[in-house]
C-alpha cells in the first residue's frame, strides 16, 4: 500500500477547517435536522492530522447540503505524519528506488499496525454506530488512496448506498466482484498504487455484469497529468493537477447527487 512513490507526496490545501470534532471524528455539519443523506470521508494514510481531508469534508458538506464525517482510521497514530509530506514532481518523474526504500523504512511498523485489514473494522464499526444514532436515509462514502481501498471493501456490504473511489491502493479481484453499490472512480494518469492494468481490470469486472442481476452502475474517469494523491493532496501550482483535483471533486459531487437523491 505505501510502496507507491507518491504516497508521501502532495501539498496542503489552502484554508482552515470549519467543522468540529465529535467523539474523535471530524464533522462538517449540513443543515440541522437533515438526515436524508450523509457522506463518510475515508482518508489517506496521513489521517486526520492533515487538514486536507477536513477541508474536503467541509466543501462536500456545503455542496451536498448534508453531514460529512471523517472517522479516525488510525486511532490517532496515522502511518505517515504530516511532516513527511513532500512536494510532488510532475508526471513522468523517474523513481529513485533506493531513496524510496530508505525513506519508507521508518514508516513500516506503523503501516503494518494500520494495514487495511486492521483499519477496515474501525471504519465499519464507525458507520454502524453512526447509523444506529443518526439513521440517515442514504449513506455514501468517498475514499482517497488508502481510504479508497477501504471504500471498495465497504461497497460489498449493506452499509452504504454509493461510493466514490479516488486513486486507491491495489484492490483484489474478490473485493471488486463483491461490490454491490454504484461506484465512481477518479483515476490518475500515473499511479503505482492503482496501476493501469489493475484499473482496466476493475472496469472490465464491473462491465462484465451488464445485463445481469448483479449489475451496479459505475463510471471511470482518468485525469491527465496527475499522479497518485491528486484528489486529496494536490499541488495546485501545476495547472493539470489543479484541473484534475477540481474535476475529481466535481465528479464526487455529481455522483452523490445522482445516486443519493431522495
Tens-digit pLDDT profile for the chain (262 aa)? 444 545 666 788 999 999 999 999 999 999 999 999 999 999 999 999 999 999 999 999 999 999 999 999 999 988 888 877 775 545 655 544 444 444 555 555 666 666 777 889 999 999 999 999 999 999 999 999 999 999 999 999 999 999 999 999 999 999 999 999 999 999 999 998 899 999 999 999 999 999 999 999 999 999 999 999 999 999 999 999 999 999 999 999 999 999 999 7
Question: Which cell numbers in the block locate residue 13?
Answer: 490545501
Tell which residue, 244, 155, 153, 166, has the closest CA to residue 199.
166
* Per-residue model confidence (pLDDT) at position 116: 76
* Per-residue model confidence (pLDDT) at position 108: 59
* Per-residue model confidence (pLDDT) at position 11: 86
* Per-residue model confidence (pLDDT) at position 87: 55
* Per-residue model confidence (pLDDT) at position 114: 67
* Per-residue model confidence (pLDDT) at position 228: 92
| Cα angle: 114, vertex 116, 122; to 5 degrees | 75
Measured distance CA(65)–CA(101) in Å, rounded: 43
* Per-residue model confidence (pLDDT) at position 118: 81
Based on its alpha-carbon atoms, the radius of gyration of the chain, rounded to whole angstroms, reads: 17
* Per-residue model confidence (pLDDT) at position 36: 96
Enclosing H/E stretch for 52: helix 51-64
* Per-residue model confidence (pLDDT) at position 192: 85
* Per-residue model confidence (pLDDT) at position 80: 84
| Cα angle: 101, vertex 106, 107; to 5 degrees | 90
Cα distances from 144 to residues 33, 44, 58, 114, in angstroms, run 28, 5, 16, 16
Amino acid at each position: 500500500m505505501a510502496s507507491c512513490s507518491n504516497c508521501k507526496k502532495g501539498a496542503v490545501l489552502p484554508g482552515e477547517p470549519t467543522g468540529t470534532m465529535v467523539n474523535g471524528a471530524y464533522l462538517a455539519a449540513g443543515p440541522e435536522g437533515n438526515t436524508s443523506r450523509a457522506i463518510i470521508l475515508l482518508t489517506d494514510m496521513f489521517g486526520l492530522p492533515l487538514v486536507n481531508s477536513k477541508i474536503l469534508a467541509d466543501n462536500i458538506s456545503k455542496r451536498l447540503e448534508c453531514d460529512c464525517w471523517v472517522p479516525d482510521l488510525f486511532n490517532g497514530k496515522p502511518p505517515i505524519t504530516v511532516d513527511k509530506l513532500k512536494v510532488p514532481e510532475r508526471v513522468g518523474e523517474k523513481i529513485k528506488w533506493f531513496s524510496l526504500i530508505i525513506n519508507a523504512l521508518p514508516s513500516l511498523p506503523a503501516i503494518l499496525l494500520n494495514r487495511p485489514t486492521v483499519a477496515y473494522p474501525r471504519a465499519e464499526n464507525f458507520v454502524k454506530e453512526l447509523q444506529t444514532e443518526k439513521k440517515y436515509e442514504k449513506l455514501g462514502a468517498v475514499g482517497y488512496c488508502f481510504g479508497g481501498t477501504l471504500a471498495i471493501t465497504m461497497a460489498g456490504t449493506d452499509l452504504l448506498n454509493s461510493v466514490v473511489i479516488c486513486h486507491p491502493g491495489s484492490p483484489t479481484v474478490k473485493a471488486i466482484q463483491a461490490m454491490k453499490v454504484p461506484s465512481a472512480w477518479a483515476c490518475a494518469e500515473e499511479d503505482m498504487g492503482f496501476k493501469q492494468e489493475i484499473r482496466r481490470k476493475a472496469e472490465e469486472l464491473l462491465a462484465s455484469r451488464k445485463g445481469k442481476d448483479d449489475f451496479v452502475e459505475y463510471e471511470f474517469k482518468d485525469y491527465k497529468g496527475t499522479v497518485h494523491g491528486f484528489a486529496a493532496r494536490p499541488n495546485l501550482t501545476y495547472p493539470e493537477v489543479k484541473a484534475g483535483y477540481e474535476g475529481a471533486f466535481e465528479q464526487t459531487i455529481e455522483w452523490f447527487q445522482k445516486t443519493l437523491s431522495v
